[in-house]
Amino acid sequence: MNRAEALIDLSALEYNVKRLLKGTSAQGLAVVKADGYGHGLIPVTKRALAAGATWLGTALLEEALTLRDAGIEAPIIAWLTPVSDDFESALKKKVDLAIPSLDHLQALVDISNAIQIVPRVHLEVDTGMSRGGALREWKGLVEQAAELSKSGKLQIVGIWSHFARADEPNHSFNQEQLNNFRARVTEAKALGISPQLLHLSNSAASLSNSSAHFDLVRLGIAMYGLSPDLDNMGSSINLNLKPVMKLRARLHLVKEVPAGSQVGYGGSAITKSDTKLGVVTMGYADGVPRNANSSAGVLVANKKAPVIGRVSMDQFVVDLGNDSVACAGDWAYLIGSEGGDGYTADAWAKACATINYEIVTRIGPRVPRVFLD
């Protein structure tokens, strides 16, 4: 019997993919990096494809290779691949690579020439985020890529970029990036580059900016039923999305304590009245943020119990209240519930001054994923 587990509702994931694709004529790329945002790489991938996604996206090459080793044959792009990466395996296993610089292009072509496999690439342009992609190097990159393409040594599958503020749909910088993207694509096409796919939209843009959909939309956090930004775009409910993950752990201990009791390391919390405390069998080694405050907690015995004191490595304490009927061994729901009004990933994010992305992706391997359908 598990002391903690993440329940992954694959039918909810399927619903989200279909809901997102219904709003666009573009193909859908399921972003399954970081173990499917903490939800489980292989099961999530298979269900996303079954739901209508036609492409897969990973950050790391090893994630893409894991998919190939699992028998996944759908097109995959990996976009965070240092020049020292295993490009030979990528070529042999038909993984498309993002190319953000001349150095990346040269390193890939050197290996492809040696093993006589034509690489499939997506040229990445920096349209204003100042993170990935070519900026001042763009002209030289597309010139070199065009020459290699004409000589049959390179297949340019796509040109792509990434929004910095799409989760703020009304921000003017989104249009600036969109204009930059179109201009850089025009420059590439003038050199004879005819990409099969143009892609710019992440979840937020997929939901809010149809002019940026182009040929492919990248379905990330929204595919997992979470809002790209609670303040600017509303909750999962507002966006008609279904959260895919529920997270629960057993109560290790329930105990009565008097008013004035110090709780946890450093005595950072003190009980204000006689109460019952519950010890939850998850901690920061499992991905529960150490800095969580009392606006987060668990739902147990159909009642919310806030975090009290500091989260420890393997456990944390919640204030059950003096009238609680919770018992040792009960399930305590950190995210979601069996039917009551539980805490959400957004609530935990607010309690930890972070975002829902971090809450779900940091759930560690000590917590089994249980797949429901």
Catalytic residues: 33, 265
**CA 224 to centroid of chain Cα atoms:** 8
Give me the residues paired with residue 319 across strands: 277
126 in Cβ contact with 135 (< 8 Å): yes
How far is it, in rounded angstroms, from Cα 233 to Cα 88? 42
Q: Considering all CA atoms of the chain, what is the largest pairwise distance in Å, rounded to the nearest integer?
A: 79
How far is it, in rounded angstroms, from Cα 326 to Cα 66? 42
- Is 95 strand, coil or helix? coil
How far is it, in rounded angstroms, from Cα 178 to Cα 219? 18
How far is it, in rounded angstroms, from Cα 31 to Cα 58? 6
Closest to 109 (Cα-Cα) out of 146, 161, 154: 154
How far is it, in rounded angstroms, from Cα 310 to Cα 317? 8
How far is it, in rounded angstroms, from Cα 16 to Cα 27? 15
